[in-house]
Homo-oligomer: A and B are copies of this chain.
Amino acid sequence: MPSFPAKVAIREVGLRDGLQSIPSILPTERKIEWIGDAYAAGQREIEVGSFVPARLLPQLADTAELVAYAKTLPGLVVSVLVPNLQGAERAIETRADLLLVPLSASHEHSLANLRKTPDEVVAEVARIRAARDAAGSKTLIEGGIGTAFGCTIQGRVEQSEVLRCMQALLDAGADRVSIADTVGYAGPAAVRELFEKARTIAGERFWCGHFHDTRGLALANVYAALETGVARFDATLAGIGGCPHAPGASGNASSEDLVFMLADMGIETGIDIPALLALRAKVAGWLEGESLHGALWLAGLPKTFAAPAALNA
């Protein structure tokens, strides 16, 4: 049997993937409270927002302020999503630690969502890399390949196309690549197969999996990915989110359920589950009326639960 990573990083993407998909707009001070509480609970990677025009996503118009706040928290890896060079320039200016450029392996989804072909996104990544290097910036560039397991618009997405895009992103200068099941089509056997191949192509530069729980398989998919050695996953508190351009997609992997599964497996995440559940309760209050997900908040921790030893060391 394959072994599991000893440590896994969970990147909280609720403030971006979550909040961009729901009608509620959280005020900046509440987002700051969320980031602060998540940090206090042990979260060390947070995607705080997106540098897109405010007219497109008014929910995320305060991303620069959030980056500025998050950068005051020692050791926090502050990520932002950027759709293009303009967004990347803002990420570089604000000294975000990482900028994620989404690429859709589905040609049709790419056109609908980004108004670019996958190869046009690759070309944009090359421009972003040049701008980053010219600025002498340390901001890491991650190419995130979405609709990697199929697409609600186009249907099938070939594994070979996903892997071609991955190689192209690396060739264009992406420091990291990741794979997302944007529309919740992935199952664990497909994850295992694709992630193994991705590791072969990108090695340690393939570093993150992003799963939606649309059909209840997000955690099974994470488990399958863990067996391939991937040790970083996106998740959202209370599972909020999904892609607004992918009809029927809803529910990310829930951060608290994911942390619980990993802790139960003896895998260190550094995250304190009761503190995370308290934050979930707070955010659920702020987002009253929105559709929330996850199971642990309702069932509570098992009587027998013990966090991996290193957490309290």
Contacts and interface: CB of A to CB of B under 8 A. Distances in A.
A188 B221 CA distance: 12
A73 interface: no
A5 to B, nearest CB: 12
Interface centre among A2, A151, A303 (most CB of B within 10 A): A303
B264 A190 contact: yes
Interface stretch (A122-130, A135-143, A170-178, A211-219): A211-219
Interface in A1-39: 1-2, 4
How many A residues are at the interface, by size bracket? Answer: 35 or more
Interface string A171-189: 0000000000001110111
A184 B266 contact: no
Contacts of A188: 223, 261, 265
Nearest to A300: B248
Interface stretch (A59-67, A79-87, A282-290, A291-299): A291-299
A197 interface: no
A196 interface: yes
A99 interface: no
A199 interface: no
Contacts of A300: 248
Interface in A197-240: 213-217, 219-220, 222-224, 227
A248 B196 contact: no
Contact of A215 (B4, B155, B190, B295): B295
Given A213-B295, A265-B188, A1 B227 contact: yes
A224 B300 CA distance: 23
A107 B184 CA distance: 41
A1 B215 CA distance: 25
A152 interface: yes
A245 interface: no
A299 B248 CA distance: 6
A222 B219 contact: no
A261 B221 CA distance: 10
A216 B185 contact: no
Contacts of A216: 219, 254, 257, 261, 294-296
B217 A152 contact: no
A146 to B, nearest CB: 15
Contacts of A227: 1
Interface of A: 1-2, 4, 150-152, 155-156, 183-185, 187-190, 192, 196, 213-217, 219-220, 222-224, 227, 248, 250-251, 254, 257, 260-261, 264-266, 294-296, 299-300, 302-304
28 contacts: A1-B2, A1-B196, A150-B302, A151-B303, A152-B302, A155-B303, A184-B299, A187-B260, A187-B264, A188-B223, A188-B261, A188-B265, A189-B264, A189-B265, A214-B295, A215-B257, A215-B295, A216-B219, A216-B257, A216-B261, A217-B257, A217-B261, A217-B264, A223-B223, A248-B299, A248-B300, A250-B299, A251-B295
